[in-house]
Amino acid sequence: MNDESGDRATPGKPAEQNYSGDWRPIPDRVLAVIVVIFAAALVLGYLFLNKMVDISTEEDCALARRANCAPIELNR
């Protein structure tokens, strides 16, 4: 019943792991680049969405046949 090869797993301990405590799946530089790209995509998406809202508002005004659909700019 005793296995002399020593490959038998002990109770409470997983069998044969090659795990090092300092192992990281993604290098820090790659992770930083991913975060920067994600942040840039969020900002550009927000700006694009605001532009689409402005265009939609102007289009709604024009389709309602209003005379002055330009946004009002206040001089300070």
Inter-residue contact 69 to 61 (CB < 8 Å) = yes
- Tell me the longest C-alpha to C-alpha distance in the chain: 94
What pTM was computed for the model?
0.55
List per-residue pLDDT tens for the chain, 76 residues long.
Answer: 555 555 555 566 655 566 566 666 888 899 999 999 999 999 999 999 999 999 998 888 888 888 888 777 888 7
Angstrom distance (rounded) from CA 11 to CA 15: 9
